[in-house]
Amino acid sequence: MKAVIQHEFGDSHVLQLAEVVTPIINEDEVLIKTACTSVNYADIKSRKGKKGKGRFPFTLGLDAAGTVVEAGEFSGFEAGDRVIAFPIGGSYAEYVKAHKQLTFKIPEKLSFEQAAAMPTVSILSYILLHDIGQVKKSDTIVVHSGAGGVGSMLVQFAKLAGVKTVIATVGNLSKEDYVKWLGADLVCTYDTFSEEVLQMTNGRGAQVIFDSVAGEVTTASMDCLGLYGTLVQFGNSSGSAGHFKTSDVHSSCRNVKGFSLGTTRKHRPDMLAPAAERVIELFATGKVTLPIARVFDLSEAKQAHDLIESREYEGKVLIKASK
C-alpha cells in the first residue's frame, strides 16, 4: 500500500510517498481502507520533532474516515462498516489499523470528507466544553484561535449549548466574518482581547477561557479571567510555554485545567465514546458543520502542510487517501 513517511525531522520536504507493508491486525483491532484523513497542527509539530520522538521512518496523522475491510474477532465491527478512527501508527496511508475503543461507526448520510474533518477537533472540543470547562449557559467564554479547527468547533458547540456570550480571538481580523458566521458574538485579535473582554463584561472578566496558544496569550488570559473562573489549557501553537503564578489563582478562587486528547487516547480511551457518539449525531443531522478548506491527494501531503503553516485557510484541510 502507499503511505506518506518521513525519515528525518524537518520542513515539509521530508514527507515522502512510499510503498509500505499493509498493517496486520489482532483480535481487538480493525483494518480500515482510508477514504480521507485530516491534517492537524499537531502533525506539523510532530514532523518537525517538536511533539514526541517517533522512530524513523514513521507516518503522520491522528484520525481517519473510511471503511472496515477486516475486523478482529473481538472488535465488535465487521467488514463494510463505515467508521472514523484514531489509527495506530498514523493515518496518511491507504490502509490503517485501529483499536476497537478508538473506532466509531458513522451513518451513511455522513460523507467521508465531513467525517474525516471531525474526529480530533470535534471530540476534543466537546470534551473541553462539557467535561473540562463545564460551561454554563450564563457564562461568558473566550475561545482562542477561533478560526482554527478546534476553535471552530468550540464556538459552534458553545452556541448550540446556549452559552450567552462567546468571544473568539484570531491572528488577523480578515477571519472575523468567518468566526462570526460560526456563532461568535465578538471577535478580537490577540493583542486586544484582554481589554475587550473586561470592557464587555464590565470588568468582571470571563468565566471560562480555552487556550491552545500559550505564551503571552496565557498571561493575557489570566488578566481577564474572572473570579472563580477556569483557564482550560490544551496546547501551545505559539511554540512558547505560558506562565502564571500561584498568586494568580488562590486568592481569586480561579483554577487552571489541562487536557490532552493524545494522553486520553492512550490512557483513558473509554472517555471518548460518549463524546464521539454525540458529535457524530450532531454532524449527521447538520446541527454543526466544519467547512472543508481544501482536499489534497496523498501525494500532496507536502502542499497540505504548507497550507496549514501559512494559516491562510478557514476550516479543515484534508488528505484523500484512496479513490
Q: What is the CATH number of the domain that holds 210?
A: 3.40.50.720
Residue identified by cell 496569550 is 217
Contact 61, 34 (CB under 8 A): no
Determine, yes or no, domain membership for 20: yes
Mean pLDDT of 124-136: 97
Could you give the CA distance from residue 231 to residue 237 in angstroms, rounded to a whole number?
Answer: 16
Residue 250 confidence class, pLDDT cut points 50, 70, 90: very high
Whether residues 133 and 247 share a domain: the answer is yes
> 37: helix, coil or strand?
strand
Whether residues 57 and 135 share a domain: the answer is no
pLDDT in tens, 38-80: 999 899 999 999 887 768 999 999 999 999 999 999 999 999 9
pTM of the model: 0.93
Burial label, 253 (beta-carbon count in 10 A; 0-12, 13-18, 19+): exposed
Dihedrals phi, psi of 167, to nearest 5 degrees: -105, 130
What is the helix, strand, coil percentage profile of the chain, to 5?
A: 35, 25, 40
Mean pLDDT of 263-290: 95
**Residue 85 pLDDT > 80, yes or no?**
yes
CA atoms lying within 13 Å on the CB side of residue 287 = 13
H or E element, residue 211: strand 206-211
pLDDT in tens, 290-321: 989 999 999 999 999 999 999 888 889 999 99
Could you give the CA distance from residue 309 to residue 296 in angstroms, rounded to a whole number?
Answer: 15
Average pLDDT, the chain: 95
Whether residues 68 and 180 share a domain: the answer is no
CATH code for the domain of 45: 3.90.180.10
Whether residues 17 and 64 share a domain: the answer is yes
pLDDT in tens, 10-43: 999 999 999 999 999 999 999 999 999 999 989 9
Cα–Cα distances in angstroms (integers) from residue 191 to residues 96, 169, 211, 218, 313, in the given order:
42, 9, 14, 12, 21
Mean pLDDT of 133-158: 96
pLDDT in tens, 195-237: 999 999 999 999 999 999 999 999 999 999 999 999 999 998 8
Residue 88 confidence class, pLDDT cut points 50, 70, 90: very high
User: Considering only CA atoms, which of 47, 94, 37, 84 is closest in space to residue 316?
Assistant: 37
- DSSP-derived letter for residue 279 is H
Whether residues 44 and 141 share a domain: the answer is no
Across 192-206, 250-264, 268-282, 308-322, least confident range: 308-322
Cα–Cα distances in angstroms (integers) from residue 243 to residues 85, 145, 217, in the given order:
34, 18, 9
Could you give the CA distance from residue 289 to residue 207 in angstroms, rounded to a whole number?
Answer: 26
Could you give the CA distance from residue 323 to residue 315 in angstroms, rounded to a whole number?
Answer: 23
**What range defines the domain where residue 84 resides?**
2-118+290-320
